[in-house]
Structure 1
Amino acid sequence: MELSLLSWALIVLVLLLLFYVYYSTRTHGLFKKMGVPGPTPWPIIGTSNSEIKLGFTKYHREAYEKYGRVYGLYRGRLPTMVICDLDVIRDICVKNFDHFVNRTTFETEEPFAHALTQVKDEHWKNIRTVVSPTFNTVRLKRMFTHIETNGKLLVKFLESKQERNEPVELKEVLSHYTMDVIASTGFGVQNNSLEDPDSPFVTEAKRLMSGPSFLILLVFLLSFLKPILKLFKISKLPRQSIEFFRRFVDAAVESRKSEAEEVQSRNDFLQLLMEAMHDKDGEDDNMTPEELAALNSSGVKRKLNYKEVEAQALLFLFAGYETSATALSFTLFLLALNPECLQKAQEEVDQVLKGKFPDYNSTQSLHYLDMCLNEGMRLFPPTPLLERMCSGDIELRGIRIPKGMSVTFPVSAIHHDPELWPEPEKFIPERFTTENKAKRHPYAHLPFGQGPRNCVGKRLALLEMKVALAAILQKLTPVRCEKTVYPVTFLRFRMTAKDGLWVKLEARR
Structure 2
Amino acid sequence: MGGQQSAPIPATHTLGKIYLKHRFTYWARHGVKGPNYVSVRALRQKFVDISSEKSRKYGRLYGSYMFTNKWLTINEPELIRDIAVKDFHTFPNKYDMNYGKTYITSSLFLMKGDHNWRRVRSVVTPAFTTGKLISMMASIEGIADQFVVTLNTFAKNGETIDMCKYFSAFAMDVISACAYGINVESINNPNHPIVVNAKKILSVNSNLNYAVSALLPPIARLLRLEPFNTNAIKFFDSLVKDIVNERKISTNEGKKRLDFIQLMIDSERHDRNFDSNNKNKKVIQNSAENSNKKTIKSLSDTELTAQGFTFFIAGYDTTSASLSHVVYYLSQNKDKQQILREELNALDTD
> Is the TM-score greater than 0.5?
yes
Write the deviation string for residues 319-372 of structure 1: whole angstroms up to 9, x where unpaired: 221111111111122112111211100112223316x4xxxxxxxxxxxxxxxx
Change over 3 Å in CA distance of 1:113–1:86 after alignment to 2: closer
Structure 1 contact 173–194 (Cα < 8 Å) conserved: yes
Match of 2:182 among 165, 189, 194: 189
Alpha-carbon deviation of 1:234? Answer: 1.4
2:105 equivalent in structure 1: 113
Match of 2:309 among 311, 314, 318: 314
Alpha-carbon deviation of 1:26? Answer: 4.8
Change over 3 Å in CA distance of 1:213–1:20 after alignment to 2: farther
Change over 3 Å in CA distance of 1:249–1:174 after alignment to 2: same
For residues 24 and 192 of structure 1, the distance between their equivalents in structure 2, rounded to whole angstroms, comes to 54
**2:332 aligned with 1:340, yes or no?**
no
For residues 17 and 268 of structure 1, the distance between their equivalents in structure 2, rounded to whole angstroms, comes to 59
Task: Report matched runs for 1:133-212 at 5 Å.
Answer: 133-211=126-204
Point out the more displaced range, 243-252 or 125-134. 125-134
Change over 3 Å in CA distance of 1:145–1:38 after alignment to 2: same
2:35 equivalent in structure 1: 39
Which blocks of at least 5 consecutive residues in structure 1 are unaligned? 3-10, 282-296, 357-509
The root-mean-square deviation of aligned C-alpha atoms, in Å, is 3.1
Change over 3 Å in CA distance of 1:300–1:18 after alignment to 2: farther
In terms of fraction of residues, the more strand-rich structure is: 1
Question: Secondary structure at 1:74's aligned position in 2?
Answer: strand
Alpha-carbon deviation of 1:86? Answer: 3.5
What letter matches 2:104 in structure 1? F
1:374 equivalent in structure 2: none
Structure 2 contact 63–72 (Cα < 8 Å) conserved: yes
Quote the sequence identity (%): 27
Change over 3 Å in CA distance of 1:214–1:274 after alignment to 2: farther
Structure 1 contact 50–59 (Cα < 8 Å) conserved: no
What letter matches 2:168 in structure 1? S
1:272 equivalent in structure 2: 263
What letter matches 2:105 in structure 1? A
2:237 equivalent in structure 1: 246
Change over 3 Å in CA distance of 1:25–1:196 after alignment to 2: farther
Alpha-carbon deviation of 1:185? Answer: 1.1
Structure 1 contact 83–89 (Cα < 8 Å) conserved: yes
Change over 3 Å in CA distance of 1:36–1:266 after alignment to 2: same
**2:23 aligned with 1:27, yes or no?**
yes
What letter matches 1:118 in structure 2? L
Alpha-carbon deviation of 1:62? Answer: 2.1
Structure 2 contact 168–317 (Cα < 8 Å) conserved: yes
Structure 1 contact 31–72 (Cα < 8 Å) conserved: yes
What letter matches 2:109 in structure 1? T
For residues 327 and 151 of structure 1, the distance between their equivalents in structure 2, rounded to whole angstroms, comes to 16
Write the deviation string for residues 392-423 of structure 1: whole angstroms up to 9, x where unpaired: xxxxxxxxxxxxxxxxxxxxxxxxxxxxxxxx
For residues 332 and 253 of structure 1, the distance between their equivalents in structure 2, rounded to whole angstroms, comes to 38
Question: Secondary structure at 2:136's aligned position in 1?
Answer: helix
What letter matches 1:73 in structure 2? S
Task: Report matched runs for 1:452-491 at 5 Å.
Answer: none
Structure 2 contact 96–217 (Cα < 8 Å) conserved: no
Structure index of larger Rg: 2
Question: Secondary structure at 1:260's aligned position in 2?
Answer: coil
Question: Secondary structure at 1:121's aligned position in 2?
Answer: coil
For residues 298 and 340 of structure 1, the distance between their equivalents in structure 2, rounded to whole angstroms, comes to 58
Write the deviation string for residues 62-88 of structure 1: whole angstroms up to 9, x where unpaired: 212211232110122121122233433
**2:69 aligned with 1:73, yes or no?**
no
For residues 99 and 179 of structure 1, the distance between their equivalents in structure 2, rounded to whole angstroms, comes to 35
Write the deviation string for residues 20-63 of structure 1: whole angstroms up to 9, x where unpaired: 8876665222112112221131xxxx34x454333222222221
Q: Which has the higher contact order (CA 8 A, sep 6+)?
A: 1
What letter matches 1:137 in structure 2? T
For residues 163 and 66 of structure 2, the distance between their equivalents in structure 1, rounded to whole angstroms, comes to 34
Aligned length: 325
Question: Secondary structure at 2:324's aligned position in 1?
Answer: helix
Write the deviation string for residues 296-318 of structure 1: whole angstroms up to 9, x where unpaired: x9979433233211211122223
Task: Report matched runs for 1:225-244 at 5 Å.
Answer: 225-244=216-235
Change over 3 Å in CA distance of 1:22–1:304 after alignment to 2: farther
What letter matches 2:45 in structure 1? L
